[in-house]
């Protein structure tokens, strides 16, 4: 999907820079095939290409895909009001694609009535979100062995879930960690099919951006640069584009603990609010960063495997990479592979985060985590470039 010189000259600035600096550069393996122009009609919930991707990855009809996107948008807008109505009894929330509704867990019947009045579905639970968050915080202070993949608060199960690699269930260090975790409060242990790894890769040739001999993917444009994964480069490292020209430098980077970074843009590069669709979908305009609830659909754009969709499985999960734990991550069942690191996670037209790592691949499936975008923006005082 690389643009020729003549094509670059002919395209509008918005499409040109959207492909270059929005969220991944054109692929050297699909020469001279231009991506479709982004749809700019605010009334449309998504482009026809995005709807096609949802039909492919979720097995939906176009009408069902449109209905789901509209329901997810309503649930995202409702969640803050429902949370406020629940007060200290709030136990978490999630989107239920089978009903198209936002479900809110609460610990008290009085607060349940207040939440129902907002239009949300209610489930009574034993533990509040504050209690579960406190348990997870205790686990965050423990040293986790490599066999422990991750842990997060599961509002549906009303517990903290610890994921253990299948091959490490009998490991003494893993058993000791699980024992300490259960002593901290309501904890459930689940088996993980694989261990998380970051998705950086050596130079494969041609696309998105490079630092040293590592290729990663651009996440989202911010005013003055773009955000990406922290494990892709340290502060001060220079960054080159798909054509080998200099883009800028890592201005800030954090990994492990976090997995985010931002790169300034100069030397003739500039930014627009676009995520590359790789010809699978139209290039997607970015209009904000409202957080999609658990259960919502989410799609990822990356330089290796391009465009794939899935579902938000968990939020605020701690991921135990071999380099160290990363906190406050969001887990999805979207696939990814080496070189996709730093790429965009988007729900509808709302930026969600940058690809960190996971397990599996796009042939057999897997799970991928992303670092939420709003945390990155707040950490570095950045402003998301929106349409």
Q: In this predicted structure, what is the pLDDT of residue 45?
A: 55
Q: Which CATH architecture has domain 1-79+196-387?
A: Beta Barrel (2.40)
pLDDT at position 29 over 60: no
Assign a CATH topology to domain 129-195: GMP Synthetase; Chain A, domain 3 (3.30.300)
Catalytic residue IDs: 231, 259, 341
Average pLDDT on 226-235 reads 96
For the four alpha carbons of 170, 363, 221 and 296, in that order, the dihedral sign comes to negative
Residue 14: per-residue pLDDT: 26
232-236 mean pLDDT: 96
Confidence of residue 385 (pLDDT cuts 50, 70, 90): very high
Banded pLDDT at 123 (limits 50, 70, 90) = very high
Considering only residues 282 and 365, tell me which one the structure prediction assigns the higher pLDDT.
Answer: 365
Tens digits of residue pLDDT in 219-229 = 999 999 999 99
Q: Helices marked H in 24-108 — which ranges? A: 48-58, 62-86
pLDDT interval class at 9 (50, 70, 90): very low
pLDDT at 15 over 70: no
List, for residues 145-161, the tens digit of each pLDDT value. 988 999 999 999 999 99
Token reading at 232: 């892709």
pLDDT at 42: 44
Q: How confident is the model at residue 187 (pLDDT cuts 50, 70, 90)?
A: very high
Q: How far apart are CA 58 and CA 264, in angstroms?
A: 36
pLDDT recorded at residue 38: 37
Q: What distances in angstroms separate CA 214 from CA 116, 266, 336, 342, 376, one per listed residue?
A: 50, 20, 16, 12, 21
| pLDDT, position 206 | 25
Where exactly does CATH 3.30.300.50 map onto the chain?
129-195
> Helix crossing, 48-58 with 62-86: angle to 10°?
90
Rounded Cα–Cα distance for residues 350 and 366 (Å): 23
Return the pLDDT at 18. 26
Average pLDDT of the chain, as a whole number: 84
Using DSSP's 3-state secondary structure scheme, residue 120 falls into coil
pLDDT at 333: 97
Question: Within the chain, which residue ranges are assigned CATH 2.40.10.10?
Answer: 1-79+196-387
User: Between 62-86 and 109-116, two packed helices, what is the crossing angle to 10 degrees?
Assistant: 130
Least confident piece of the model among 29-33, 177-181, 352-356:
29-33
Give me 90's structure tokens. Answer: 């709030």
Q: Which pLDDT score is estimated for 223?
A: 92
pLDDT in tens, 258-310: 999 999 988 777 888 888 888 787 788 899 999 999 999 999 999 999 999 99
């Amino acid at each position: 999907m690389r643009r020729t010189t003549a094509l670059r000259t002919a395209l509008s600035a918005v499409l040109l820079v959207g492909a270059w600096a929005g969220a991944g550069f054109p692929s050297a393996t699909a020469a001279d095939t231009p991506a479709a122009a982004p749809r700019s009609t605010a009334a449309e919930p998504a482009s026809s290409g995005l709807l096609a991707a949802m039909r492919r990855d979720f097995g939906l009809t176009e009408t069902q895909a449109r209905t789901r996107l509209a329901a997810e948008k309503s649930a995202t807008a409702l969640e803050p009001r429902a949370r406020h109505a629940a007060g200290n009894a709030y136990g978490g929330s999630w989107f239920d694609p089978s009903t198209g509704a936002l479900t809110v867990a609460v610990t008290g019947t009085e607060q349940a009535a207040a939440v129902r009045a907002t239009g949300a579905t209610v489930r009574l639970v034993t533990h509040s979100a504050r209690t579960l968050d406190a348990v997870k915080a205790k686990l965050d202070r423990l040293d986790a062995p490599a066999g422990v993949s991750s842990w997060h608060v599961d509002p549906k199960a009303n517990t903290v879930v610890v994921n253990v690699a299948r091959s490490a269930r009998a490991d003494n260090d893993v058993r000791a960690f699980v024992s300490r975790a259960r002593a901290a409060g309501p904890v459930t242990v689940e088996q993980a099919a694989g261990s998380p790894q970051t998705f950086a890769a050596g130079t494969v040739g041609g696309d998105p951006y490079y630092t040293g001999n590592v290729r990663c993917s651009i996440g989202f444009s911010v005013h003055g640069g773009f955000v990406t994964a922290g494990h892709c480069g340290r502060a001060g490292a220079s960054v080159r584009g798909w054509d080998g020209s200099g883009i800028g430098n890592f201005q800030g980077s954090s990994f492990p603990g976090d997995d985010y970074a931002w790169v300034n843009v100069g030397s003739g590069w500039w930014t627009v609010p676009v995520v590359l669709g790789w010809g699978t979908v139209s290039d997607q305009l970015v209009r904000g960063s409202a957080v999609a609830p658990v259960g919502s659909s989410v799609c990822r754009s990356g330089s290796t495997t391009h465009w794939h969709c899935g579902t938000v499985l968990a939020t605020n999960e701690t991921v135990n990479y071999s380099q160290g734990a990363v906190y406050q991550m969001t887990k999805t069942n979207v696939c990814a592979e080496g070189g996709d690191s730093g790429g965009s996670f988007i729900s509808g037209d709302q930026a969600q985060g940058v690809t960190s790592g996971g397990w599996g691949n796009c042939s057999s499936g897997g799970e991928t985590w992303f670092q939420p975008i709003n945390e990155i923006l707040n950490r570095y005082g950045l402003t998301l470039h929106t349409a």
